[in-house]
Structure 1
Amino acid sequence: MRAAIVGGGVIGGGWAARFLLNGWDVAVFDPDPEAERKIGEVLANARRSLPSLYDRALPAEGQLTFHADLADAVSGADWVQESVPERLDLKHKVHAAISENAGGAIVGSSTSGFKPSELNSEGANVIVAHPFNPVYLLPLIELVGDAATISRASDILRGVGLFPLHVRKEIDAHIADRFLEAVWREALWLVSDGIATTEEVDEAIRMGFGLRWAQMGLFETYRVAGGEAGMKHFMAQFGPALEWPWTKLMDVPEFTPELVDLIAGQSDAQSGDRTIRELERERDDNLVGILRALRKNGKAAGAVIAAHEAGLPEPEPGDLPITVERSIPQSWTDYNGHMNETHYLEVGAQASDRFMELIGADADYIAGGLSYFTVETHIRHLGELDAGDAVSVTTQVTGAEGKKLHLFHSIHGPNGIAATVETLLLHMDLEARRSVAPDGAVANHIENYWQAHRDMPRPQGAGRFVGER
């Protein structure tokens, strides 16, 4: 699959990263002589953060190319994403050039405000595909336009881990930006009237309702606020407040030089000691942590990540099965910048869980009253792993006698084997709460693995005890 990105700024670079890191070839057109450098920096951040959302490896990166001619960039593309500045005359010009050269590609515009009827007023066939920064991490894409095209577009976007939201009626600024605009207007008044600084406004959001919105949105948050009586109680209790003169949402303070200087000065004092790239990495690390927590519970944006991960390709096994293939997230590192010892055990546990799936001891097997329990684990730390490192785990069966299953996991990092995790498991009858021998398909799978592995060289370090030289 091939994507063409027309306009390589912050948003265009994010689109390029999203497609590229999901295995698409990406062609970029941007007349800015600094475009290649800027997109390279966005890609560096994306390579550091996007794989950290997943416990499985993303597809191999596609090929990234830069083109001086728009026609070359869009030719043969399956998807064209326009992310040029918000000038309707410029978009019309670009869309006309895309239409002449892109064939049957879906053409999406990253516009945050224009409607499809405005974009297509001169004969183009473009849908709104409005993302949120950073595009490589945040899943929401607002789609507006032809329903049949949006159906095709939605399937493609889900395939690269995005969440397409079909906006069924044209409206200025779509859905999400209308909320942002309302909050932005109120924030400007709070600063202009001397009630709050830019930092205090940000603290009110990130220390309070911003955290709730990340997992529940607006209406579900207020449903919970209504207590056991639910939304009707909340509306009855707080509805009258809507008539009070609390906000100035339909008005905006005049953008005088004094107001601009006030806000810019406060913003510089708030975070001007850090570069934009440093702020982006801090933002991305925090988003990864929040999104991984949501992913664990299958909630909100986390459910999108979990669904995308389920469709990622399985690694091809060699002589030994590959039971883990993933990237190391930033949240797994300690004060040394290396992966904390706790997470070596977590990787080993993931390998054991995957091996259970391979032999049929999966969720359905557990529901039937049988499972394997870990009774002993031995970890050897042989090398360092850093955030972003790609790792894989191979698993060898080193013993399979009756109730016992002995597994040896080798964690491979960029510089060879970084650790080994040796695990002894017992097969259990969950109802009787006693160990029993497996039977049926699980027993057959284990025997097949044992026959394949028993004549292999015994892995170095197997059977060692702590402190053995």
Structure 2
Amino acid sequence: MKVAIIGCGVIGAGWAARFMLNGHDVSIFDPAPDAERCMREVLAHARSSLPALYDRPLPPVGRLDFARRITEAVTGADWVQESVPERLEVKRSTYAAIEPYLGNEAILASSTSAIRPSKLQELCSQPARLIVAHPFNPVYLLPLVEVVGSDLTPPALKARTAGILQGIGMYPLVLDREIDGFIGNRLQEAMWREALWMIKDGVATTAQIDEAILYGFGLRCAQMGQFETYRLSGGEAGMRHFFAQFGPSLAEPLSHLMDVPDLDTALIDRIADQSDAQSAGRSIREMERTRDASLVALIRALKPRRVGAGGTVRAHEAQLHLQQDGSLPVTARRVIPSSWTEANGHINETHYIEIASNAADALTESCGVTAEYIAAGRSHFTAETHVRYLVELHEGDEITVRTQVLYGTGKKTHLFHRFYGPDEKLAATVEMMILHVDLTTRAVREPLPHVAGALKSLEEAHAHLPRPEEAGTAIRDLRKAKAERARSSQG
């Protein structure tokens, strides 16, 4: 699919990175002189963070080009994402330049964060084909995108838009009706207004407000929304008890709600000075890298139970099929996060086993050991593992795993994983013996015919490859080797 990104600021560049890293070709138009530099920097962040969410390889990265004219970017595009400034006159001229070159089935989506789609549609010659797809920054990591149409928007367009967004690992929240500011920004703005008043009234600093979120309810919000949180606050009696206990406090003047302080020079200076002090000299790029690493760790922590953004990644991951690359399948591709490194600065040995386990799961799932197969009472257990560490790998390095099936007959499967680091240099090998088991009895048993046949086919497909010299070996008995050397020297 060809994607055109019109406007390559923070949001447009984030969209471009999300589409590219999910295998789509992207053409960007932005007349700003530094647009290409900004895009390259955002893409570097995305390359080191989005793949770190996944235990399976994403599709091969799509192509990127910068169009000299808007017509070059739009012509032949299946999806056009408009991310220009929030001014109607700018959007009007942008749509006028885009529409003559749009294909009949192309989707024209706006990243607007507040403007109703009906107002944007008034600027178009074919109003019904414009739809709002409002993301959250960073677009390449945060899955939420609000899909909003007007009374003119065909339901089929909403459904098609949502389907494409799910295909790039996003969570499309399809609104039933259009409203100013949509859902996410209305909630954010309510908190933002109150934060501004607390600064204006001198009752809190920017750091104190951020700390209240960071160490308190912000942690809850990552895995449970407002209503479910308050339901728990009501205890076993639920929401009715919560309202009985805390409802009356809503009548108290705890907040300014819709009142907005006058953003005069004094208040802006106060906020800017406090914010500068709070950032402690860190650059924007450094803060973005810290943000992305933290988001990756948090979203990955939510993956096992399929909660929130972690659930979105798990659902998208299930759609990522094993990629054949040359003679051996690519069974895993990971970017090393900061949480995986140790005091020596390289990846901790624990995670080699983790990646190998993920690679083995991807391979066996491609052979039929799916979630349904496991739920029915059959799976593979690891019986033996041998790891060799050959080259240091560090934070930000990408690991690609290619797996050779040395034996895949009956109950036993013998795997040899090769870990390649940057520049395709062999960085480690992990040899595994896995056994097919009955989960009820925990006894080793034959796999079902379709699984057995798929594993046997892989063994036969890999049989022409040289057997790794290291396969089947273990750590040498150093005392025995020392004695042998001593006898040899005496002889």
Same fold (TM over 0.5): yes
Match of 2:217 among 206, 209, 221: 209
2:360 aligns to what? 352
Which residue in 2 is equivalent to 1:249?
Answer: 257
Q: Deviations over 1:316-362 (max 9, x none)?
A: 16544543344444432334443211111112222332343355455
Is the contact made by 1:323 and 1:395 (CA closer than 8 Å) also made in structure 2?
no
What is the distance in 1 between the residues matched to 2:107 and 2:446? 56
Normalised by the length of structure 2, the TM-score is: 0.88
1:63–1:403 distance in 2 versus 1, CA, 3 Å: closer
Distance 2:185 2:14 in 1: 18
Q: 2:403 aligns with which of 375, 394, 398?
A: 394
TM alignment of 1:182-331, pairs within 5 A: 182-316=190-324, 319-331=327-339
- Hey, what's the Cα distance between the residues in 1 that align with 2:94 and 2:184? 25
1:58 maps to: 58
Report the Cα distance in structure 2 between the residues aligned to 1:164 and 1:127, rounded to whole angstroms.
13
Going from structure 1 to structure 2, the CA distance change for 1:409 and 1:148 (only over 3 Å counts) comes to: closer
Question: Is the CA contact 1:330–1:388 (under 8 Å) kept in the aligned structure 2?
Answer: no
CA pair 91-345 structure 1, distance change in 2 beyond 3 A: same
Q: Which secondary structure state, in structure 2, belongs to the residue aligned with residue 352 of structure 1?
A: helix
* Runs of 4+ with deviation above 6 angstroms: none
Q: Could you tell me how far apart the structure 2 residues matched to 1:313 and 1:447 are?
A: 19
Contact map agreement 2:17 2:42 (CA 8 A) in 1: yes
- Matched letter for residue 138 of structure 2: P
Query: Quick one: which of 128, 131, 152 aligns to 2:135?
Result: 131
- TM-superposed CA distance for 1:209, in Å, is 0.8
Residue deviations 1:238-264, cap 9 Å, x none? Answer: 111111111101211111211111110
Rounded Cα–Cα distance in structure 2 between residues aligned with 1:11 and 1:191: 28
Aligned to 1:110: 111
SS, match of residue 396 in structure 1: strand
Residue 90 of structure 1 is matched in structure 2 by: 90
Secondary structure in 2 aligned to 1:297? coil
Residue in structure 1 matched with residue 488 of structure 2 by the alignment: none
Q: Deviations over 1:11-30 (max 9, x none)?
A: 11111111111121211111
State the secondary structure of the residue aligned to 2:417.
Answer: strand
Amino acid across the alignment from 1:380: R
Distance 1:305 1:202 in 2: 27
What is the aligned partner in structure 1 of residue 120 from structure 2? 119
8 Å CA contact retained: 2:401, 2:417: no
1:327 and 1:390 in contact (8 A); partners too: yes
Q: Report what 2:431 is aligned to.
A: 422
Q: TM-score, normalised by structure 1?
A: 0.92
Q: Specify which of 341, 344, 352 is matched with residue 349 of structure 2.
A: 341
> Alpha carbons of 1:246 and 1:317: their partners in 2 closer, same or farther (altered >3 Å)?
same
Closer, same or farther: CA 364–116 of 1 in aligned 2, 3 Å: closer
Q: What is the alpha-carbon distance in structure 1 between the residues aligned to residue 318 and residue 193 of structure 2?
A: 41
Q: Which structure 2 segments of 5+ residues have no match?
A: 479-491
The secondary structure found in structure 2 opposite 1:84 is coil
Q: Which piece of structure 1 moves more, 312-321 or 385-394?
A: 312-321
8 A contact 1:28–1:65 mirrored in 2: yes
Q: 1:407 to 1:89 in 2, by over 3 A?
A: closer
Change (3 A) 1:242 1:395: same
SS of 1:316's partner is: strand
Counterpart-to-counterpart distance in 2, 1:54 and 1:461: 29
Q: Secondary structure at the match of 2:473?
A: coil
CA root-mean-square deviation = 2.5
- AA of the residue aligned to 2:109: G
- The 8 Å contact of residues 48 and 335 in structure 2, kept in 1 or not, is answered as no
Equivalent residue, structure 1, for 2:163:
155
How far apart are 1:275 and its partner, in Å? 0.6
Q: Secondary structure, in 3 states, of the residue corresponding to 2:31?
A: coil
Shift of 1:313: 3.6
Shift of residue 292 of structure 1?
A: 1.1
Q: Deviation at 1:440?
A: 4.8
* Secondary structure, aligned partner of 1:216: coil
Shift of 1:455: 7.2
> Structure 2 vs 1, CA of residues 404 and 16 (structure 1 numbering), >3 Å: closer, same or farther?
closer
Partner in structure 1 of residue 486 of structure 2: none
Q: Is the 8 A contact 1:381 1:418 kept in 2?
A: yes
1:396–1:267 distance in 2 versus 1, CA, 3 Å? same
Q: Which moved more, 1:180-189 or 1:417-426?
A: 417-426
Report which stretch shifted further, 359-368 or 419-428: 359-368
Assess, with a 3 A threshold, how the Cα gap between structure 1 residues 88 and 38 changes in structure 2: closer, same or farther. Answer: same
The amino acid across from 1:257 in the alignment is T
What is the DSSP-based 3-state SS (H/G/I as helix, E as strand, rest coil) of the residue aligned with 2:303?
A: helix
User: How many corresponding residue pairs?
Assistant: 468
Task: Rate the CA distance shift 1:256–1:139 in 2: closer, same or farther, 3 A.
Answer: same
Provide, for residues 387-435 of structure 1, a one-character-per-residue CA deviation record: whole Å limited to 9, x for no partner. 24141221332586x7654433222333432212222344544444444
CA displacement 1:256-289 (0-9 Å, x = unmatched): 2111111100000000411111111111111111
Matched residue type, 2:215: M
In the TM superposition, what is the alpha-carbon distance from 1:466 to its structure 2 partner? 2.4
Q: Which amino acid aligns with 1:389?
A: E
| Cα separation, 1, equivalents of 2:401 and 2:141 | 23
1:350-386 per-position Cα deviation (integer Å, ceiling 9, x unaligned):
2332343355455555445454432332211111223
AA paired with 1:239?
Answer: G
Give the match for residue 47 of structure 1.
Answer: 47
Equivalent AA in structure 2 for residue 460 of structure 1:
E
* 1:204–1:459 CA distance, 2 compared to 1 (3 A): same
| Residue identity in the other structure for 2:137 | N
**C-alpha contact (below 8 Å) 1:291/1:302 kept by paired residues:** yes
CA 1:212–1:377 in structure 2 vs 1: closer, same or farther (change >3 Å)? same
Which residue is 1:25 aligned to? Answer: 25
